[in-house]
Homo-oligomer: A and B are copies of this chain.
Amino acid sequence: MKKLINSVDTLLDESLSGFAKAHADIVQFNAQPHFVKRLKPTAPNKVALISGGGSGHEPLHTGFVGFGMLDAACPGQVFTSPTPDQMLAASQAVENGGGVLFIVKNYAGDVMNFEIAAEMLDCPHETVLVCDDVSFPKTHSTGRRGVAGTLIVEKIIGAAAEAGADLTACKALGDRVNLVTASMGVALSSCTVPALGQPTFDIGDNEIEMGVGIHGERGRERIAIKSATEIVDYLAEIIDADLKPQQGQSALLHINGFGATPLMELHLIYELASRHWEKRGINICRSLVGNYTTSLDMAGCSITLSLLDEEMLRLWDAPVHTAALRWGC
């Protein structure tokens, strides 16, 4: 394993400390327990939005802390859920009279720990569970995984909360965005978790994993590599079967790199995916292309289509000032 680290034990602290220093105008890092929160105070009674999950998906979630998005993020060890004490401490640090909304990707560990934290909170609270990965059927035993669509949920609720929406409205909005958002990923290589020191899975020189999860979990099937157009159509058709976009509907198209795929290829995938949906009469009116929900050094990408209504589009466009998403500020 070759990594730019000192040791597995110090990786997370040194990285979070560097992140907070590099973005000292936006965030503050609390080392014990680990959380990152906004530097500047929020308006009284604003709903406090808190997310978190295993590290290794950066910029998710710490890179989305700031004006117009999250109030705090709780990073766990690499690919490991944060613990309830982190979520509680973060909640206490940012709750401002409007209650707390947890935004949680649907993984057993995250769900359980955010539930424990929620039970211990002594303020009004709600949870939005994100499960946008359509690789598995809706009826899958543990439900669908939360992947790259999570940032869309975070951005849109973030704008609503900033504009004064209350806890109930933020929760309902988040659930609605989750329902109209679908993602599918493809891996060309495995990631290597530092503590393991070897690739999470083996994959042949000519193989790709369709429907891969953001920790390198198995997807739908392992197939021989195809052309980019065939890969995009494969992923997009599964999204279409689930989301059933209608002619004339507006959509945000998000191409997310898993960490080791060049931006050249991500833009190429954007081109092919936008052609796929334009042919079907979908109005691709917003876009986001880049490495946002990564899997350490995995090569590959995911495609997310989000059928945003007018209110959601307006909230997507609203000003945001975080390390990883920044516009209008």
Which B residues are CB-close (under 8 A) to A309? none
Number of A residues, CB within 8 Å of B:
63
Which B residues are CB-close (under 8 A) to A229? 6
- Could you say which of A113-121, A144-152, A172-180, A259-267 contacts chain B? A259-267
A11 within 8 A of B: yes
CA distance A250 to B16 in the complex (A): 23
Cβ 8 A contact of A262, one of B6, B289, B294, B326: B294
Expressed in whole angstroms, the minimum distance between the Cβ of A251 and any Cβ of chain B is 13
Expressed in whole angstroms, the minimum distance between the Cβ of A149 and any Cβ of chain B is 17
CA distance A22 to B265 in the complex (A): 13
> Is A301 a contact of B4 with CB atoms below 8 Å?
yes
Which B residues are CB-close (under 8 A) to A31? none
A140 within 8 A of B: no
A205 within 8 A of B: yes
> Is A296 a contact of B21 with CB atoms below 8 Å?
no
Query: Given A6-B229, A268-B14, A299-B297, are A22 and B289 neighbors across the interface (CB < 8 Å)?
Result: yes
CA distance A267 to B11 in the complex (A): 10
Expressed in whole angstroms, the minimum distance between the Cβ of A54 and any Cβ of chain B is 11
> Is B6 a contact of A228 with CB atoms below 8 Å?
yes
21 contacts between A and B (CB under 8 A): A2-B189, A3-B188, A4-B228, A4-B266, A5-B227, A6-B229, A6-B272, A11-B264, A14-B268, A15-B265, A18-B268, A18-B270, A19-B267, A22-B288, A56-B262, A58-B262, A59-B263, A259-B262, A261-B297, A263-B291, A327-B329
Which B residues are CB-close (under 8 A) to A267? 15-16, 18-19, 22, 58
> Is A56 a contact of B189 with CB atoms below 8 Å?
no
Q: Which residue from chain B places its CB closest to the CB of A5 in the assembled complex?
A: B228
> Is B58 a contact of A263 with CB atoms below 8 Å?
yes
Cβ 8 A contact of A265, one of B5, B21, B266: B5
Interface 1/0 per residue, A190-227 and B, CB below 8 Å: 00000000000000011010000000000000000101
> Is B296 a contact of A262 with CB atoms below 8 Å?
yes
CA distance A305 to B21 in the complex (A): 16
Of the candidates A55, A268, A289, the one having the most CB atoms from chain B within 10 angstroms of its own CB is A268
> Is B327 a contact of A21 with CB atoms below 8 Å?
no
The 8 A-B pairs at the shortest CB distance, nearest first, are namely A18-B271, A260-B260, A18-B267, A58-B263, A18-B270, A4-B265, A22-B287, A19-B267
> Is A274 a contact of B4 with CB atoms below 8 Å?
no
Which B residues are CB-close (under 8 A) to A301? 4
